[in-house]
Structure 1
Amino acid sequence: MEYSLMTKLAAEFVGTAILMIFGNGSVANTELKNTKGYHAGWLNIAMGYGFGVMFPVLMFGGVSGAHINPAMTIAQAVNGMFPWNEVAPYIVAQLLGAVAGQLVVFATYYPHYRDTEDPEAIFATFSTTDAEGSRFNYFLNEFFGTLVLVLGALCCLLLPWGAKDLAAASIVVGFIVWGLVTSLGGPTGPGLNPARDLMPRLLHQILPIAHKGGSRWNEVWIPVVAPIAGAIVGAFLYKVLFAV
């Protein structure tokens, strides 16, 4: 069944919002003071992001492709796998979805934002940064992480076994994200998605949060450019090596 563009955009909006609610919501539950999950640990965050990708792909993979990520949309278009005339609308829907999802996280954790005095903990619930303060490592981590994500997701969803059983393929994609956060997540978070980092960073700048510190705009290009570059390479490798 072919859905209208507006239905596809609604799927991208809602799917990206769900990604933010599950993903950054798990960070808020872990990092903000006096939550019931305070200091729950890295596996809690990895699980949140894994489910945050798994559920939108299960819900909307058959509607819009569930890109929920501008890097995925751009990478497929560059490699001739997605129409260029739908790229800008998809990205706008994803960016707005990221805003909506992050606002839900902020609203539901508002008392805990007030309780938290650590600016690093607060910032972590919005955006990414490199743990060692290295821009080179930041770029490298986001590039390779997104490359693996896009290559893995396309292989799961588009190769014959996944195309025949989209639900099973969607679950595996969620586990790819879960595994990536546990394996390559230590240096940066990771973001792997320009919308997931850029729009929450904007909200971090404008929302009235005590003790929030700076929004690190001097490094914002990294979690935007690196995932897009990594995604393009990942989609290229899929198309050249595995597409049928």
Structure 2
Amino acid sequence: MSSSDIFLGETIGTAVLILLGGGVCAAVTLKSSKARGAGWLAITFGWGFAVMTAVYMTASLSGAHLNPAVTVGIAVKDGAWGDVPVYIAGQLLGAMIGAALVWVAYYGQFLAHLTDPETVGEKPVEGPGPVLGIFSTGPEIRNTWQNLATEIIGTVVLVLAVLTQGLNDSGKGLGVLGALITAFVVVSIGLSLGGPTGYAINPARDLGPRIVHALLPLPNKGGSDWSYAWIPVAGPLIGGALAAGIYNLAFA
């Protein structure tokens, strides 16, 4: 598996992941969307199917990590760090591309939502914007240790599930059945642990789209909540490393 294959596979796969995952958030959130108000079940299953689609699409190229926490977990498990920067670079670029594509696909809905007087109100938007949740995660209750712990716990479940399913012949990612199982694991995490923080469980999934949100010329979009942004990056990375440690202690 060459570095170019890894970078290309992770870029394409993570772009598809964010396009479909962010897309379901946009569909449920924005005015003038046919799916508006579909709720948390739609979001959790939408993200699960997004994972499944992206993994099946790019597993043959890169192993389809699509998540720096998974990459770190596999590196800690195997002690092999050489390709980690290539994986993470592709994941971050792909996440930004996917978020930009969500904006393109829902361009009219973004404008309709953000210029509606009932949505915007009389005062300028301050702090996290009204549609930031389409791009990245945020806590329902701001409690640093709890928010960090929630992201760590959710990511431990995800990465441990990936590792215990067994990797494909190259040792770089999931096999065919593993992709389907992981999709349901993501749905389970969203349903059970997603309530407090929105379950980033993936640093690239949160950071890349947050950068895009900050750059997009959207009216009344508000801030990108950079004071919180370190938690959905640090928490999943810690969780990925812990999951690998648990795997090496209990399953290896």
TM-score by length of 1: 0.91
Greater mean alpha carbon deviation, residues 51-60 or residues 6-15: 51-60
Q: Contact 1:58/1:166 (CA < 8 Å) preserved in 2?
A: no
Shift of residue 157 of structure 1?
3.5
Aligned partners of 1:236 and 1:158: how far apart in 2? 16
Backbone CA RMSD of aligned residues: 1.9
Structure 2 residue 58 is the aligned partner of structure 1 residue 60: yes
Aligned partners of 1:241 and 1:49: how far apart in 2? 29
Give the alignment of 1:85-100 within 5 angstroms.
85-100=82-97
Q: SS state of the match for residue 62, structure 2?
A: coil
Residue 123 of structure 2 corresponds to which residue in structure 1? none
Residue 102 of structure 2 corresponds to which residue in structure 1? 105
Shift of residue 120 of structure 1?
4.9
Q: Select which of 195, 203, 228 maps to 1:186.
A: 195
Residue 18 of structure 2 corresponds to which residue in structure 1? 20
Residue 124 of structure 2 corresponds to which residue in structure 1? none
Structure 2 residue 134 is the aligned partner of structure 1 residue 125: yes
Shift of residue 96 of structure 1?
0.4
Aligned partners of 2:177 and 2:77: how far apart in 1? 25
Aligned partners of 1:91 and 1:4: how far apart in 2? 15
Greater mean alpha carbon deviation, residues 115-124 or residues 36-45: 115-124
Aligned partners of 1:207 and 1:125: how far apart in 2? 13
Q: Contact 1:129/1:138 (CA < 8 Å) preserved in 2?
A: no
Shift of residue 44 of structure 1?
0.8
Residue 203 of structure 1 corresponds to which residue in structure 2? 212
Structure 2 residue 94 is the aligned partner of structure 1 residue 116: no
Shift of residue 130 of structure 1?
0.6
Give the alignment of 1:213-224 within 5 angstroms.
213-224=222-233
Shift of residue 166 of structure 1?
2.5
Aligned partners of 2:166 and 2:60: how far apart in 1? 10
Structure 2 residue 43 is the aligned partner of structure 1 residue 48: no
Residue 249 of structure 2 corresponds to which residue in structure 1? 240
Q: Cα deviation per residue 1:70-114 (whole Å; 9 max; x = unaligned)?
A: 121122223335x32211111111100001111110100111111
Q: Contact 2:74/2:163 (CA < 8 Å) preserved in 1?
A: no
Counting matched residue pairs gives: 237
Structure 2 residue 74 is the aligned partner of structure 1 residue 76: yes
Distance change >3 Å, CA 127–CA 170, structure 1 → 2: same
Aligned partners of 1:203 and 1:87: how far apart in 2? 23
Greater mean alpha carbon deviation, residues 214-223 or residues 57-66: 57-66
Structure 2 residue 175 is the aligned partner of structure 1 residue 166: yes
Q: Cα deviation per residue 1:146-192 (whole Å; 9 max; x = unaligned)?
A: 010000111123399xx9x9222210110000111111111111111
Gaps of at least 5 residues in structure 1 are none
Shift of residue 138 of structure 1?
1.4
Q: Contact 1:102/1:200 (CA < 8 Å) preserved in 2?
A: yes
Q: Select which of 5, 18, 22 maps to 1:7.
A: 5
Distance change >3 Å, CA 45–CA 120, structure 1 → 2: farther
After superposing on structure 2, the runs of 4+ consecutive aligned residues of structure 1 that deviate more than 6 Å are: none
Q: SS state of the match for residue 84, structure 1?
A: coil
Shift of residue 56 of structure 1?
2.1
Identity of aligned residues (%): 40
Q: Cα deviation per residue 1:47-66 (whole Å; 9 max; x = unaligned)?
A: 11101111222233343221
Q: Contact 1:95/1:199 (CA < 8 Å) preserved in 2?
A: yes
